[in-house]
Amino acid sequence: MIVRAKTLRVVNSLNVIDVYLDAVQDIGRAVPREDIERVVDILYEVWQEGKAVFTMGNGGSASTATHLACDLAKCTLVPGRPRPGSA
């Protein structure tokens, strides 16, 4: 998916945050909600079945993959329930 800025703006130190947030909003509006729902359903099913999600990346993508793995771990740990893949 390619998302293009709706308007071209000169970026300077005063408006860089606004330009960035506008771009993030444009991307958020462009992502089909059905795709997000599908990912959520898959992740929830994996969690319910006690399975594991593996992430990977190379270079900067490795950092993104690690960040996703940490977010998934933080949001899925339940007291009294084993970590997925630890059995």
Q: Looking at 2-11, 29-38, 39-48, which range is the least confident one?
A: 2-11
Q: Which residues of 54-80 are buried (b: 16+ CB within 10 A; e: fewer)?
A: eeeeeeeeeeeeeeeeeebeeeeeeee
Given a cut of 60, whether residue 87 has pLDDT beyond it is no
* % of residues, the chain, pLDDT over 90: 49
Residue 50: count of CB within 10 angstroms of its CB: 13
Alpha carbon distance 71, 74 (integer Å):
5
pTM: predicted TM-score of the whole model, two decimal places? 0.66
Is 19 or 33 the better-scoring residue by pLDDT?
33
Alpha carbon distance 79, 87 (integer Å):
15
The domain segmentation of the chain, as residue ranges, is: 16-76
Tokens coding 3: 């998302």
